[in-house]
A and B are shown apart, each in its own frame.
Chain A
Amino acid sequence: MIHQFDAVIVGAGGAGLRAALEIPEGYSCAVLTKVYPTRSHTGTAQGGVCAALGNEEEDSWEYHFFDTVKGSDFLGDQDAIEIMCYDAIRAIIELEHMGMPFSRNEKGLIAQRPFGGHTKPKDPNNPFGERVPVKRACFSADRTGHVMLQTLYENCIKKGVQFFPEFFVTDLIVQDNIIRGVVAIEIATGEIHIFHAKTVMFATGGYGRVFRITSNAVVGTGDGFAIVYRRGIPLEDMEFVQFHPTGLWRLGILVSEAARGEGGVLRNKHGERFMERYAPTIKDLAPRDVISRAMYTEIREGRGIQGPDGTYYLLLDLTHLGPEIINKKLPEITGFARIYLGVDPLKEPIPVVPTTHYAMGGIPTNVDAEVVIDDKGTKIEGFYAAGEVACVSVHGANRLGTNSLLDIIVFGRRGGKKMAEYIKERDFAPLPKDADEWTRKTVERLLNSNGKERVSRIRTELQEIMMDKVSVFRTEEGIKEAIEKIKELKERYKEVKIDDKGKRFNTDLIEAIELGNLLDTAEAIAYSALNRTESRGAHYREDYPKRDDQNWLKHTLIYKNEDKEPIIKYKPVVITKIPPMERKY
């Protein structure tokens, strides 16, 4: 079936919904999503969304800007970061006006709390001097993402946005650098739909499921990355994968940084507050990459605690906070600890390990969410990307907590505005013949295959190798091993067979296609990681432990090259105000 829409937005997370709100009346807009909009991953975000409102104490967007640049290990593009931090205040107020139920302080203003990496100078007259934590994260208990997603969805209902829920997008229709639409499978019926569009936005979220332990949802299979990558559009900075320090041991379920923002501390086997050694000034509120590495180091040096299954963990101690703070401000995550580990955080510390959390890299875009495919700013006309799948890049080599929810509403909106302009000016580019060929063939192949490989087995092997070799600590040897494995798995993927041969709600088929996406995404991550021979932010190479601004102060762009090794190019980092300096906490 062929549909025609002025704008097609793929993904109904925060970024997609925010963009949809910008499409003006009188133009048709479709939002496609593979799960119901309110099931999107934005809803799991807990801790907060950042803006220098200064409701609790003196703050300025410029401090926020500095923190973000420093947090990014100077790889973030400073023009974009400036836009984001400056726009943050307006964006939060706007959300409030849309109805988002923020927690409030005594004055009736939006309440704020400290978060990892968010600081201000101790002495305002010495902006580059010593810095202390600042209360900058706006929140709604520990359900910030949940209420944000709900609020945005509610406003889409109000506006009458047309949703296509449980439509699984498989392919992008692009020719001569002009976008023409997308191809999707309606999961409920198995039917293939072509959406002919003037403009398309990808807001498909992250790829956490490439790794074994992750805080991401099962649907976080990196579809957006893989689809674009397969169509010859590059991916930027894929080597930067954020590991969040506090995932529930064994499960990876996130315990928000808010737990440490409210005063929780990490301890090792001896009960020592080890972050005092790694980040003497801000300790447990250091950025995520720093803490994750510290935790792995503790475990490696024998100060972790061994669980019954042989794996190690450390402890997140909230016991000193008291029931008032825990029950009021952290109800959700303490519930997780109770349900899944049987641990009562009021009485016992919570077993945690670093968990795969966020994709800093993604589809390269400019500050208006327009996809640009090289260092000269060449655009794919009518193609936009926003949210976790995009790389603007405001997060550089490491994202600060709470900056992602901000990223999605700021750049989701900017992208939406540009799309609105674009659909007013332009006409539909004609659809190529057989636009759905790839999808049709893939579906047919999977349904008719008589191979002997199982989807789940390949997926598990991929997740294992990525977790072992391409996570917090990386070496050339390890990454090469992972690449070999990925190649092997890709071969085996061709032999994959599924049990469900029907059309209706065939999740077996969807999972098989998702596996293909995981493999492509993993390839991009591994090759980018192998290529960058320095350590920066979340990318830590044991064989190159130093940051190397001389050679590597640049973004990676990775292009797919059929079945051969991908091609890697570079793009300069935009530096406007803050020159690179040593990153120390």
Chain B
Amino acid sequence: MSFRYYGSRKSGSISWLLQRITGIFLIFAMVGHYILMHYSPETGHSYEQSVARFSNAYWKMFYLTFITLGLWHGLNGVWSILRDFKMKPWLAITLYGIIVVSGIAFWVLGVSTALHF
């Protein structure tokens, strides 16, 4: 008795498509990451090695794309989960705000880490 049709015509198609495209990219990123990082437990986790990696321009690029797409994919995913629920507008706006703000904050943190070296 509560159904209301909202004809807002806010297309979700682009974010839906991007979710899949970023997902496909992340497959490669994940595979690459795991091969690089966990091929051997003895290697890869020390300060020097990490800094050395970050000094490599390709690695830097890779890391930047990874956090950008990963954050976008993850947060867009979280937002799509939240939208499954009926939310009052104020709640929706607040949650959306938290997602966007925290996402940007962590993205800046990640970018500044990479650019530090």
**CB atoms of A and B under 8 A apart anywhere in the complex?**
no
Taking beta carbons and an 8 Å cutoff, which residues of B are in contact with A? none
